[in-house]
Amino acid sequence: MVSIVSHNSKVTAAETNKPTFTVVDITPEMAKAFLEKNHPNQRTINKTHVRSLVADMRSGAWVTNGDSIRFDEEGYLIDGQKRLTAAVEAGITLKDTMIVHNLPAE
């Protein structure tokens, strides 16, 4: 399990079964660990799209747009697979990225 240390305040719900979120810088190492939690039913990665993201990240054209990295209540990654893969391939840290945990399983 990857330990996440946020430079911002972590917002949590009063009950543990509610979604929580934090904003962190996701290193390539963290991204790789998150990808290991990929949901088994996740669709296949579009490699062309990932290559485009890698190019944007390496050139400095990548900007955080508010899309979160999402995990379900079972701990599976359910959104962010392509961005995380591109971060690993580009060797880039995703700055100020929202991570949401404990979303309903699909």
pLDDT of residue 89: 98
Q: What's this model's pTM, rounded to 2 decimal places?
A: 0.82
Q: Which two tokens stand for residue 10?
A: 């972590």
**Percentage of the chain with pLDDT > 90?**
71
How many CB atoms within 10 Å of residue 97?
A: 22
SS3 91: coil
Beta strand 69-72 with 94-103 is parallel
Is pLDDT of 42 > 90?
no
Q: Which two tokens stand for residue 92?
A: 């880039």
DSSP secondary structure code for residue 38 in this structure:
B
pLDDT of residue 59: 96
Is pLDDT of 67 > 50?
yes
**Percentage of the chain with pLDDT > 70?**
85
- Residue 21, beta-bridge partner list: 11, 100
C-alpha 37/C-alpha 21 separation (Å) is 17
pLDDT digits (tens, 9 = 90+) for 17-36: 799 999 999 999 999 999 99
More confident residue, 26 or 66: 26
